[in-house]
């Protein structure tokens, strides 16, 4: 059996975070066999936090929250009013994560999700560092961890590779800031699937597993075998969360941000059950080969 907690992204099951959608998502996550649910906080205003926490606890599920920012609330901006709006979003999202019972807040915490028209400026990067230093201090008071998700060039200009993320984490300088690798983004930006894992080593704190087209695991061309062997080689025991998107399940905001135009699957529960079996089998095979 896998020692890593296995998770699934809520957008496999529902596009929003209304009470009914959250309740159904929790039930489907449990039914598929996962240990934790990852919820995006892009529509956080809809979440009935006490009800969601009660349902998560009743199901015995862990919770991880994630988000990116928006161009009018972007901590990598040089406009201090825009930076302040981004900082406020991060602070409120951290509090929501804590109130839901989560200890891990991750994602593109450093920029908007979208294609930038120019490289990151030095002043913008300094703003990212300053904001995340403050957020890390706040998180530490709740014994919480921040994850820096490494995203591709079409979704951010702040960090696109594991090496970029390590440099940013070094500049933030907080022990509770970890690196979050995602195979979908790695396929675009990294040379292979092994060296980034080895480079990050024990600073890896969260993993997204997604195919190159974000559909069924094993139906694309990604080298999951080398990736999972690398995870084993660094003794990674943190969460591994399946992330997949299809136009069959539409978030009012996030689907557009991530350019989810194609219908890659229709049945979220079937997709999730397949992903759970795939992850367990992959982890078991790697373990048996060692």
Catalytic center residues: 149, 243
Burial (CB count <10 Å: 0-12, 13-18, 19+), residue 199:
middle
Cβ count near 142 (within 10 Å)? 16
Report the distance separating Cα 163 and Cα 198, nearest Å: 11
Report the distance separating Cα 246 and Cα 205, nearest Å: 26
CA dihedral of residues 208, 209, 215, 221 (deg, nearest 10): 130
Nearest CA among 93, 86, 54, 88 for reference residue 69: 86
Nearest CA among 146, 83, 82, 153 for reference residue 113: 153
């Amino acid at each position: 059996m896998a020692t890593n907690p296995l998770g699934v992204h809520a957008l496999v099951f529902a596009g929003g975070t209304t009470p009914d959608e959250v309740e159904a998502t929790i039930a489907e996550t449990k039914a598929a066999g996962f240990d934790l649910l990852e919820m995006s906080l892009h529509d956080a205003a809809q979440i009935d936090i006490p009800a969601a926490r009660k349902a998560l606890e009743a199901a015995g599920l862990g919770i991880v929250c994630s988000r990116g920012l928006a161009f009018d609330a972007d901590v990598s901006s040089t406009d201090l009013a825009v930076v302040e709006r981004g900082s406020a979003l991060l602070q409120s999202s951290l509090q929501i994560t804590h109130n839901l019972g989560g200890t891990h807040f991750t994602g593109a915490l450093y920029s908007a999700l979208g294609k930038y028209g120019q490289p990151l400026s030095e002043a913008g990067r300094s703003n990212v560092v300053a904001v995340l230093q403050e957020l890390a201090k706040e998180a530490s008071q709740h014994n919480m961890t921040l994850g820096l998700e490494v995203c591709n060039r079409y979704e951010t200009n702040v960090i696109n590779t594991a090496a970029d993320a390590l440099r940013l984490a070094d500049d933030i300088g907080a022990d509770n800031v970890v690196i979050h690798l995602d195979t979908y983004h790695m396929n675009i930006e990294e040379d292979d699937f092994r060296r980034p894992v080895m480079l990050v080593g024990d600073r890896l704190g969260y993993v997204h597993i997604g195919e190159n087209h974000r559909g069924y695991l094993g139906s694309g061309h990604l080298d999951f075998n080398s990736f999972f062997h690398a995870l084993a080689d660094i003794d990674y025991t943190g969460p591994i969360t399946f992330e997949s998107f299809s136009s069959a399940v539409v978030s009012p905001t996030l689907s557009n941000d991530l350019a989810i135009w194609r219908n890659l699957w229709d049945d979220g529960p079937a997709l999730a059950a397949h992903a759970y079996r795939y992850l367990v089998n992959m982890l078991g095979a790697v373990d048996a080969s060692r």
